[in-house]
Structure 1
Amino acid sequence: MKVLSATTASLVLNATQAMASPAATETGGLGLASLIFIAFIAMVALFQLMPGLAMFLRILKGIFSSEAEQRAKEVAKDNRTSL
C-alpha cells in the first residue's frame, strides 16, 4: 500500500510541475486530423437533423389534424382502389 501511495504522489507532483512549465502553455493550433474530425462530427449532426426535423413536423401534423380529414382521405382512397 505504501508503494502505491508513493507512486501516486510522485506522479501527481511530476504532473503539476509539467503543467507549470512554459512549454505546456504553448499551443500549436488545430492539426489536419482534428479539423477532419470536427468536420465529420458536423456532417453527422447535419445529416441527423434533416430526418429528425421531418419526423417532428409529421408528428405535429398528426397531432393537429382533425379526424374528419383522416376519414375523408380514407374514403377517397377506398373510392380510387375500388375500380
Structure 2
Amino acid sequence: MEFHYHRTGPSPDLATIEQAIAQLDPAVLVDADDFARVRISTVLDEYALLDCLWRAGVQVAMGELERQPSVCCGGCGG
C-alpha cells in the first residue's frame, strides 16, 4: 500500500521513519518530494503505520494519511 502525508515545517528524518517501519516491513520505501509530501510504500495498514511514525517522532494524525489507489500490476507475483 502507498500512503502520502503533507509535512508541515522542516523535512522529517526519512531514515528514522524508514528504520521504525522496517522493523515490521523490511521492504518499506520512504521518500519525499519538493511539494512537502512524504510517500511511504508498505504492507502495513494505517494503524500500524501511524504507530511507527509516532515512534519515529512524526506526529501525523489518521486524517492526514492519504491511502493511495493500488498501482500494483501483479508482475512480480505480489
Q: Which has the higher contact order (CA 8 A, sep 6+)?
A: 2
- TM (norm. structure 2) is 0.19
- TM (norm. structure 1) is 0.18
Larger proportion of strand: 2
Larger proportion of helix: 1
Bigger Cα Rg: 1
